[in-house]
Amino acid sequence: MSKTIRIGTRDSELALWQAKIAQSLLEKEGYSTELVPIKSTGDLVLDKPLYELGITGIFTRTLDIAMLNHDIDIAVHSLKDVPTVLPKGIIQAAVLKRGNVNDTLVFKNNEEFLSAKNAVIATGSLRRKAQWLNRYPTHTITDLRGNVNSRLQKLQDNDWNGAIFAAAGIGRIGIRPEEAINLDWMIPAPAQGAIMITALEDDEFVKEACATLNHEETEICTTIERKFLNRLEGGCTAPIGALAYIRDEEVHFKGVLLSKDGSKKIQVERSEKLGKHNDLAIYCADYVIERGGKRLMDEIKYSHKITNVVSTKKLTEDQKKLFHEKVVSKSDDFIKINLNRIRPQVLKTEIENVIITSKNAVEALVTNYSAAELQFKNIYCVGRRTKRLIENRIGKVKYTAKNAKALAEHLIQYLEGTEVTYFCSDIRLDALPTILTENNIKVNEVEAYQTKYDGFKIDEAVESVMFYSPSTVESFVRSNNVEIIAFCIGETTAKEANKHFKDVRVAKVPTVESVIELVNEHYV
């Protein structure tokens, strides 16, 4: 035991307290030690909330570098600050027995503000902010950074009602105010209250020394919490809470994921027998993911990035996954649809020729009538997806065209008879009825649904917009007078877009996926 173990630590009062605990435990085992205080980025940058700094392991990176440079032998961390994946060559050598896991509210005067509509609470933690706003949505959260002592002083110096701290932090250095209450309802950060020791993977002497300090129960619980965090791909930039504890030979777990503003919350609780708990974290994380967690994480992940593409149609989760990583998209329906009641007299007799150019018309028909009541001899449509929907819910399609103009040209040559019934919207920007009428084909228009323009003003940073019909173009230009790249689903849509934009591009095939492919080609 001749080697002196150099203990790396941040130089804050709490970090030094934790390092001295590790030091005393090692010396009790007969090892010689030396403290090596090092200032971290997290201590130096105090003018921004942690989640805005965008650095994983902000309080650990400096110590990691010192260890890899062999300036220190071990590092002592608050485990909640440590990334779930350690740098190559560094391992978790020990976890000390856990302290108080709770978050604590320190208030200035009394607790009456908890029942008030307006109150100001200080915290630099996105997780604490989200959970507080979920419980008290009318309260205001203000940022609070610095070491424990300076944060307590800021609470006294400002006109705030209270501030939130880790109970372990203010308790360990003996400065917990009397005006403090544990927030039992708030799920703590994964591994909160635990102290971790890291070491170099190939340093057998140090690894053997640290193994004597490891507390198995704390290791089991914090490992579950950190696996849950890792599965959700969260760091200090995501509002994720997790807590595992062992009671009566059972491992109990609860976890939570919230939106940044606390308006959305997905929570999970589960217990397993000790020894059969290995899949507990993965099960709970997947439970959260399947109930909207993936969407929430994506919102958080891209919230700091500038949107460069807007889709005028709400995209599905599978469609969003098709974008290249350089594309930051936003999607919403610029067109809202109201289905009309189609009068029975329209369908009194079998209609020989029917034209359907959208899925909305199909929905209107099948909402009003059963397939048996929709006796159409010849059905003509636009688009493969519309065709698929018609054949699944109404009947066989005689002919499908890629756009309305192409369908009109086909009908001029091959229509059986001289009359068609066109189930359409109250707003039409296609030329189909005009072309048919000019060629002596009578068009009976039936208003199957109403189209409402519902566009919004886009941000100045948006460079391009995805359009799926002439109506989406019209809706967009009603709210925006800007020059953008117009990615269009087909020629009819592109024709309308050309009236307003210089750069208009058309997808190879008329599908949403093909428009996304067009977008990717531009941005890659």
Q: Where are the domains of the chain?
A: 1-97+192-214, 103-182, 215-301, 305-334+454-523, 336-453
93 and 199 Cβ atoms separated by less than 8 Å: yes
- Indicate whether 299 pLDDT > 90: no
CATH 3.40.50.10090 for domain 305-334+454-523, yes or no, is yes
Average pLDDT value for residue range 252-271: 95
Cα separation, 259 vs 269, in Å, equals: 19
Q: Tell me what pLDDT residue 60 has.
A: 79
87 and 68 Cβ atoms separated by less than 8 Å: yes
CATH 3.40.190.10 for domain 103-182, yes or no, is yes
Tokens of 494: 């592109």
| pTM for this predicted structure | 0.59
Q: Tell me what pLDDT residue 54 has.
A: 37
Identify the bridge partners of residue 127 per DSSP, sorted by sequence position.
Answer: none
Cα separation, 455 vs 79, in Å, equals: 47
Residue indicated by tokens 């599978």: 318
CATH class given for the domain over 1-97+192-214: alpha beta
Average pLDDT value for residue range 499-503: 96
- pLDDT band of residue 466 (cuts 50, 70, 90) is very high
Cα separation, 148 vs 123, in Å, equals: 11
Q: Tell me what pLDDT residue 451 has.
A: 87
Cα separation, 59 vs 53, in Å, equals: 12
DSSP 292: I
- pLDDT band of residue 46 (cuts 50, 70, 90) is very low
Average pLDDT value for residue range 458-466: 92
Measure CA 454 to chain center. Answer: 25
Average pLDDT value for residue range 451-465: 91
Cα separation, 210 vs 465, in Å, equals: 57
- pLDDT band of residue 297 (cuts 50, 70, 90) is confident
Average pLDDT value for residue range 187-210: 95
251 and 133 Cβ atoms separated by less than 8 Å: no
For 282-306, letters b (16+ CB in 10 Å) and e give eebbbbbbeeebbebbeebeeeeee
- pLDDT band of residue 303 (cuts 50, 70, 90) is low
- pLDDT band of residue 328 (cuts 50, 70, 90) is confident
Residues tagged active-site? 81
Instruction: Express the helix, strand and coil content of the chain in percent, nearest 5 each.
Output: 35, 25, 40
CATH 3.40.640.10 for domain 336-453, yes or no, is no
For 45-76, letters b (16+ CB in 10 Å) and e give eeeebbbeeeeebbbbbbbbebbeeeebbbbb
User: Which of 23-27, 204-208, 426-430 is the least confident region?
Assistant: 426-430
For 476-494, the pLDDT digits (tens) are 999 999 999 999 998 889 9
Q: Tell me what pLDDT residue 510 has.
A: 83
For 338-380, the pLDDT digits (tens) are 999 998 888 877 789 999 998 999 999 999 999 888 989 999 9
For 67-110, the pLDDT digits (tens) are 888 999 999 999 998 888 888 899 999 999 999 999 999 998 78
Specify the CATH architecture of the domain 215-301: 2-Layer Sandwich (3.30)
Helix axes 280-288, 216-231, angle to 10 degrees: 30
In angstroms, the first-to-last Cα distance of the chain is: 58
Q: Tell me what pLDDT residue 262 has.
A: 93
Tokens of 297: 């994480």
Nearest to 465 by CA among 389, 413, 416, 518: 518
Average pLDDT, rounded, for the chain: 89
CATH topology of 215-301 equal to that of 305-334+454-523? no
- Indicate whether 43 pLDDT > 60: no
